[in-house]
Amino acid sequence: MPHLHIPLNRRILLRGFGLGGIAATAPAWAAGSVRLPLPGGPEERTLTTNFPGKGQMILQRTRPPLLETPLEVFDQGVFTPNDRFFVRWHWASIPTEVDAQDFRLKVRGHVGRELSLSLDDIAGLPRFEIAAVNQCSGNARGLFEPRVVGAQWANGSMGNARWTGVRLKDVLDSAGVKSGAVQVRFNGLDEPVVDEAPDFKKSLDIDHARDGEVMIAYAMNGEQLPLLNGFPLRLVVPGWYSTYWVKMLSDVEVLDYEDEQFWMKTAYRIPDTAGANVLPGEKGYPTIPINRMVPRSLLTNLPAEASVRAGAPLDVRGIAFGGDCGVKAVEVSPDGGRNWMPASLGTDEGTYSFRRFEARLPALAPGRHDLKVRCTSTKGAVQPLEPTWNPNGFMRSVVETTPVIAS
């Protein structure tokens, strides 16, 4: 029998994660707080170390858990450690344990033969590995102006990992997709809290599902997935927003029609305009399901309002990613975007990975300066200098600013 090439616990437990009680208890996890640079005044977020498999995280919500990665984690390396990787779930009914022995992945629908695959069956398929950024559609929603409803994330609902598993194409081929297939729908073990609410499911077009990059991952950065990041299996859709990266994946359903359910037809839709940009209050524009990511970049060695030395060169560094392709160039500006200079790029870990960059800025005069960073993707897409806006706070891509005070 083939074996997983990773240390796989027989079962993984969310210890102390009493889904019934945790929200009612006093915030014993209040280990500190962090300030979110939100317009309209400072906002505090609690830091928590209370979640299984997770180190210190910014607590956005307890039930279901929404945990944000603090900025300084992105400064530590090109890959985001599993215990600091952000967490987002839609419904609070997440299994608190999954038995790896009993677990089965169903492959069904418009296929020649339906499959029920054990983890060993999956590990027996050719192994596939890719580095890819997992970014929530609403990453940095908390920075939208005017403000929009939804989780008020800063830039920490993203992370970069090396994903190991199997190609979705190989799994679909073993089931034999029948002609006339249109989409593939993915469902996980989590369920809505009330029956009437729609179970979280997402679909990809059949050609995308079979492109040889979309994969089912059983490992993340060389270890099994943390339960909160989808143990034992999750979908990885390189270059696409993580709403499609279905966690605790248990059901793959080939459809001979277009998926009409809530999470495709109503939720996670963007204006069908350049940059998903509309005016606040605008109505009547067509929408499409959110899809490919766009380029972004971030300074990671300086928090907003950092004090720096005047009269001496300033070293800056950070991370960039091209979105649905690689990073062609990163530039930094010491003066709010009037002048730009090239940054040098770190090791290329692959098309869909974070890319580190660094640059030495000329000596700053005493006073306040707006540092900016801008990424150009290998497809030639450039981050805009003006913010885009839409009512869901999706796809933030504007050039970010880090104000610093030199003295």
Ligand X SMILES: Nc1nc2c(c(=O)[nH]1)N[C@H]1C(S)=C(S)[C@@H](COP(=O)(O)O)O[C@H]1N2
d(CA 76, CA 126): 32
When binding is defined by CB under 6 A, the residue of 45, 247, 356, 396 that contacts ligand X is: 247
Q: Pick from 262, 248, 191, 241: which is nearest to 216 by CA?
A: 248
Q: Pick from 128, 150, 147: which is nearest to 139 by CA?
A: 150
User: With binding defined as CB under 5 A, does residue 140 bind Mo ion?
Assistant: no
Nearer to ligand X, 134 or 224 (CB): 134
The site that binds ligand X (CB under 6 A) totals a number of residues, namely: 19
Nearer to Mo ion, 29 or 241 (CB): 241
Instruction: Tell me the three state secondary structure of residue 210.
Output: coil
User: With binding defined as CB under 6 A, does residue 245 bind ligand X?
Assistant: yes
d(CA 115, CA 304): 51
Closest approach of Mo ion to the CB of residue 89, in Å: 9
What is the contact mask toward ligand X in residues 24 to 63, using x (rule: CB under 6 A)? ----------------------------------------
User: With binding defined as CB under 6 A, does residue 248 bind ligand X?
Assistant: yes
Instruction: Tell me the three state secondary structure of residue 209.
Output: helix
Q: Which residue reads 């359910």 in tokens?
A: 261
The residue type at 103: F
d(CA 14, CA 88): 15
Closest approach of Mo ion to the CB of residue 39, in Å: 22
Q: Which stretch binds ligand X (CB under 6 A): 13-21, 79-87, 173-181, 385-393?
A: 79-87
Q: Parallel, antiparallel, or unpaired for β 306-308 and 400-406?
A: parallel
The residue type at 343: A
When binding is defined by CB under 5 A, the residue of 117, 123, 136, 216 that contacts Mo ion is: 136
Closest approach of ligand X to the CB of residue 242, in Å: 4
Task: Give CA angle at 197 (67, 187), nearest 5°.
Answer: 65
Instruction: Report the chain's C-alpha Rg in angstroms.
Output: 22
Nearer to ligand X, 222 or 336 (CB): 222
| Contacts (Cβ under 8 Å, ≥6 apart) of 66 | 59, 60, 87, 88, 89, 151
Nearer to ligand X, 150 or 337 (CB): 150
Contact 373, 401 (CB under 8 A): no
d(CA 286, CA 208): 23
CA dihedral 385, 386, 392, 397 (to 10 degrees): -10
User: With binding defined as CB under 6 A, does residue 188 bind ligand X?
Assistant: yes
Q: Which residues pair with 324 in a beta bridge?
A: none
When binding is defined by CB under 6 A, the residue of 105, 140, 181, 246 that contacts ligand X is: 246
Nearer to ligand X, 136 or 399 (CB): 136
Token couple for 285: 């524009």
Instruction: Tell me the three state secondary structure of residue 121.
Output: helix
User: With binding defined as CB under 6 A, does residue 98 bind ligand X?
Assistant: no
User: With binding defined as CB under 6 A, does residue 200 bind ligand X?
Assistant: yes
When binding is defined by CB under 6 A, the residue of 11, 61, 63, 90 that contacts ligand X is: 90
DSSP tag of 390: -
When binding is defined by CB under 6 A, the residue of 89, 144, 240, 354 that contacts ligand X is: 89
Nearer to ligand X, 60 or 383 (CB): 60
Nearer to ligand X, 90 or 208 (CB): 90
Largest CA distance in the chain: 70
Q: What are phi and psi of 68, to 5 degrees?
A: -105, 145
For residue 190, the partner it binds in Mo ion, ligand X, none, with Cβ less than 5 to 8 A by kind, is ligand X
Residues numbered 76-95 forming contacts with Mo ion, rule: CB under 5 A: 88
User: With binding defined as CB under 6 A, does residue 128 bind ligand X?
Assistant: no
Cβ-in-10-Å burial (0-12, 13-18, 19+) of 366 comes to exposed
What is the contact mask toward Mo ion in residues 224 to 253, using x (rule: CB under 5 A)? -------------------x----------
User: With binding defined as CB under 6 A, does residue 321 bind ligand X?
Assistant: no
When binding is defined by CB under 6 A, the residue of 53, 156, 230, 271 that contacts ligand X is: 230
The CA-atom distances, in angstroms, between 121 and each of 118, 126, 213 are: 5, 11, 20
User: With binding defined as CB under 5 A, does residue 290 bind Mo ion?
Assistant: no
Q: Which stretch binds Mo ion (CB under 5 A): 51-59, 133-141, 224-232, 364-372?
A: 133-141
Closest approach of ligand X to the CB of residue 261, in Å: 14
For residue 86, the partner it binds in ligand X, Mo ion, none, with Cβ less than 5 to 8 A by kind, is ligand X
Closest approach of ligand X to the CB of residue 4, in Å: 20
Chain positions contacting ligand X, by CB under 6 A: 85-90, 134, 136, 188, 190, 200, 229-230, 242-243, 245-248
